[in-house]
Chain A
Amino acid sequence: MKKIIKYVLLDLLRNRIIIAFTVFLAVISFSVFNLEDNPSKGILSLLNLVLIIVPLVSIVFSTIYVYNAAEFIELLVSQPLRRVNIWLSIFTGLASSMCVAFLVGCGLPVLIYAPTDVGLMMTAMGLLLTIVFVSIALLASVLTRDKAKGIGVAILLWFYFTLIFDGIVLFLLFQFMDYPMEKPMVVFSCLNPVDLARILILLKLDISALMGATSAIFSNFFGNQWGMAATVLIMIAWAFTPLWWSVRKFNRKDL
């Protein structure tokens, strides 16, 4: 398995898109911090990068990569190798190289300019979101045979997680305004990894506001250490459930 990871990584390293993504992140991060005299404002600008752009690039790039690697995968499958290992190697290669790209492009500037709780939390969430969306991408690409369709599904999923889902939740919150919506809201949040990541960052960034706007249920769930750990665990589940499902699908896939 190590060897396959090695070759996937070598292939990805030669792929200029990863390098371009790293440079893109670095340029944005450094310029944000240099233009803003206040690092906490820089963090705010990077928040959208972490919550929107990173998932988008992770899911789209990974989907395209898997489709483009179809022949490579075919070649590997015809060799005396376990399919699970091939698939997990591709995942590991993709996730780790995307994580490195994020860490260098975004994490590094954050740690240099704003090594605060918020900065650390944001870097951690960026990494987790990267892994989650690589995993979702693998599922999307194993479920659809057609490349164009697969990329479409990937973009749709991204759109769903970053915008549509929250839109629906907002709509529901106003529809059922007269009912206690705090518990359902906690459940809603767990259904979307982007929301979870955002809330964990909010806990560091806007704790003053959150402590006022939401009552005991919220602070009991997200506010304490156990809730925090639970949230991170749910995020990890978000990373590995699609992966596990895609492994099952890939095991039976006809190439």
Chain B
Amino acid sequence: MLISLVVFTITAHAKTWIVRPATPLQKLQEAINNAMPGDTIIVEHGVYREPTIVVNKPLYIKGVGCPVLDGQKKNEIMVIKSSHVVIEGFSVQHSGYSGYNDIAAIRIVNSRNVTIRNNKLDDTFFGIYSQHAVSCTIANNELRSNAINEVTSANGIHCWKSDSMQIMNNTITGHRDGIYFEFVTHSTIKNNVSTGNVRYGLHFMFSNDDAYVGNQFRNNGAGVAVMFSKGVTMVQNIFFENWGSAAYGILLKEISDSRIQHNRFVRNTTGIYMEGTNRINVTQNVFYNNGWALKIQASCNDNTITQNNFQANSFDVATNGTLVLNTFNSNYWDKYEGYDLNHDGVGDVPYRPVSVYAMIAERNPVTMMLFRSFIASLLDKAEKTIPGFIPENLKDDQPRMKAFK
């Protein structure tokens, strides 16, 4: 709001340049060079093949009729080196590709309050790349590439050493990582859709105090990875159909003091995988039809899992250790077979969400082929009568009788 107000007040006194093919002003770079800070440049429909366009002053650059900026598979298409720049309404395509340089379609360098919105990116190496950027907005963009493997592809929205970024309503597909954060703080990732990327839908490292809210991560090679960070808020996201032996709804590694709330984990091989996490609250989420809803490694401490719905998962919880220092409480487990004599909605006997067969499959994955066989259910029944194999204190003492709405 503040940014747009600033932009508006500046443009109020500014000149407007119109770039159009087959006119004297047919190059965007020329218009930028001619313009004064605060001017508006309107780029009309057409295809613009220029060397890397450098934006070095505060400008409002707007595409009308979806003009195409074509990198001809050679170079970086646009670099923004100034604060208060708005780029809007372009179709940016065919960036260069490099094995050793990070070539991007649109790069933001050392700038503040840059807005990239309503653009379509197609066949780009890196999509939108920000380094040392502060308070920038990347919104309503469509990023599409055709990554085949991790080596020859790059990330959709890539932020490095940035702060207070707003990534909103973007659609990212066919990249290596949909959204990549490294050393990014106080930022928000909201309402994005990240699907069909070869590695992670969202890749998050060394980035503290960020929030991602209302995003959809679907069918990415390895789901979402959140690593080496603290103070991360993950709310109302949907993690859907992330399949594979190393694919997770969320992979949490070395995360502490974070919150996972109101998310939906549906049809993932593993809903949440936790390794070395501390003091994370996993509350009010829905785990539906996953292979493993939750895998908690023995290195996790003081995490709280409460008021979640666990429904139609092959396995609810798996762990690799015997000592469990996490709290499970007041969740709904559809596999719970206990009773509720006093009708307070809470089951009278504790629920043990780790099944023997989950432990067996954890040790020897091929045994999954015998899952749901007679012998597998016999093993589970035997363990219920004579426990000894599954961790003693991994249990929910107040399992809910009915699913949370």
Contacts and interface: CB of A to CB of B under 8 A. Distances in A.
Does A touch B (CB under 8 Å) in the complex?
yes
Interface of A: 38, 40-41, 47-48, 51-52, 162-163, 166-167, 169-170, 173-174, 177, 181-182, 185, 189, 194-195, 198-199, 201-202, 205-215, 218
Dominant secondary structure of chain A at its interface with chain B:
helix
Given A51-B372, A212-B365, 16 more contacts: A41-B312, A51-B374, A52-B374, A163-B378, A166-B375, A173-B364, A173-B366, A198-B372, A208-B267, A208-B269, A208-B291, A209-B290, A212-B270, A213-B365, A214-B368, A215-B245
B291 A214 contact: no
Nearest to A188: B369
A210 B368 contact: yes
A181 B290 contact: no
A206 B267 CA distance: 9
B23 interface: no
A137 to B, nearest CB: 19
B315 interface: yes
Contacts of A48: 374, 377
22 contacts: A40-B289, A40-B312, A41-B334, A162-B374, A170-B370, A173-B364, A173-B367, A185-B369, A195-B373, A198-B373, A205-B372, A206-B291, A206-B314, A207-B267, A209-B368, A212-B243, A212-B245, A212-B270, A213-B245, A213-B366, A214-B365, A214-B366
Contacts of A173: 364, 366-367, 370
Nearest to B335: A41
| Size bin of chain B's contact surface | 35 or more
B278 to A, nearest CB: 25
Given A174-B364, A181-B366, A214-B365, A209 B372 contact: no
Contacts of A194: 373
A96 B376 CA distance: 31
Nearest to B289: A208
B305 interface: no
B292 A209 contact: yes
A193 to B, nearest CB: 13
A194 B376 CA distance: 14
B371 A38 contact: no
Nearest to B246: A212
B355 to A, nearest CB: 12
B244 A212 contact: yes
Contacts of A212: 243-245, 247, 269-270, 291-292, 365
The 6 closest A-B pairs by CB, nearest first: A209-B291, A212-B269, A213-B368, A209-B314, A208-B291, A211-B243
Nearest to B362: A213
A179 B314 CA distance: 26
B137 interface: no
A194 B315 CA distance: 22
B193 to A, nearest CB: 20
Interface of B: 241, 243-245, 247, 267-270, 289-292, 311-312, 314-315, 334, 361, 363-378
Given A38-B312, A212-B269, A213-B365, A206 B371 contact: yes
Nearest to B379: A170
B372 A206 contact: yes
Contacts of B270: 212
Contacts of A208: 241, 243, 267-269, 289-291, 314
A166 B371 CA distance: 10
A233 B372 CA distance: 22
Contacts of A201: 372
A192 B73 CA distance: 55
Contacts of B267: 207-208
A234 B325 CA distance: 48
A95 to B, nearest CB: 23
Nearest to A180: B366
Contacts of B375: 163, 166-167, 170
Contacts of A47: 372
B13 to A, nearest CB: 58
Most chain B CB neighbours (cut-off 10 Å) among A167, A195, A212? A212
Contact of B374 (A166, A174, A202, A215): A166
